[in-house]
Amino acid sequence: MDDLPTFLHDLPSMGFGFMLVIARVGTTLLTGPALGENEIPTTVRIALAVVLGALVYPLLRSSLPPPPDSVIEMVGLLTIEIIVGAWLGFITRVLVMALSIAGGIISFMVGLSSVLQIDPSLGVQVPALERMLGLAAVALLFASGLYVLPVQAVMGSYDIIPPGSAFDAGGAAQWVTRAVAESFDLALRLAAPFVVICIVWQAALAFLSRLVPNIQVQLVSAPAQILAGLALFAAATGIMFTTWSAGVLKAFSSLPGL
């Protein structure tokens, strides 16, 4: 009972500190990959954010600022924390999307870009192969344990961007640009065999159409193109997953805060 007055005195500071932690950690979780997927019910994602915030709050309590005197300052601090969390979540999500981007490229090269499937994460229809590889990326994150690195990056972000400090928008934009470039570079490397073979295939079809103008080249070649593309996709899936995992591990290892 002797500690009750002290607890009541510290309760406003603890509540505000927990709000700051939830603002950054929760936003990162909700906007990032794996645990932030739209397939997971919103209530479950919010519960995971609260649980994760409760776990990390004792470790960060000493570095959190005290409650400000004005509401405007409080809203400003919370807004900066939300922006930092959304920034970290967006970077990690863009890097993970490399596999689904490669699926979109492969679908176009194979000739299956018109076979569409709804993607709840984007809210639009995407090629079926792109959707399948997007789900595979989430499964690989959990199977390989890579989902832990973004959580560690959030913890480490408190060292480089302490709560209450100014947010460097220019530096954040450079990180976003770098993440987008790495994601597209990885996606193109994953889809490179399909791009090369498709270019050779289209050149051969153009040569054939010049030799035999009366043949409907597209009607004849479309089934063979789809069948060969799916066969190559089945043979290269394992190598694609391994390459993607290695690329994401390398990108995650250089996240801000790690």
Per-residue pLDDT at 143 exceeds 80: yes
Per-residue pLDDT at 4 exceeds 60: no
Range of the domain at 172: 4-253
Q: Tell me how many domains the chain contains.
A: 1
The overall average pLDDT reported for the chain is 84
Determine which of 34-43, 77-86, 136-145, 243-252 has the lowest per-residue pLDDT on average.
34-43
Q: Assess if residue 258 is contained within a domain.
A: no
Write down the pLDDT at residue 1.
47
Measured CA to CA in angstroms, residue 10 lies from 20, 58, 74, 94 at distances of: 16, 14, 17, 40
Q: Assess if residue 233 is contained within a domain.
A: yes
Q: Assess if residue 98 is contained within a domain.
A: yes
Measured CA to CA in angstroms, residue 95 lies from 24, 49, 64, 160, 190 at distances of: 19, 21, 30, 21, 13
Say which residue, 4 or 97, is predicted with more confidence: 97
Q: What is the pTM of this model?
A: 0.85
Measured CA to CA in angstroms, residue 14 lies from 7, 21, 62, 199 at distances of: 9, 11, 10, 61
Rounded distance between C-alpha atoms, residue 20 and residue 244, angstroms? 34
Q: Residue 249: which of 114, 169, 258 has the closest Cα? A: 258
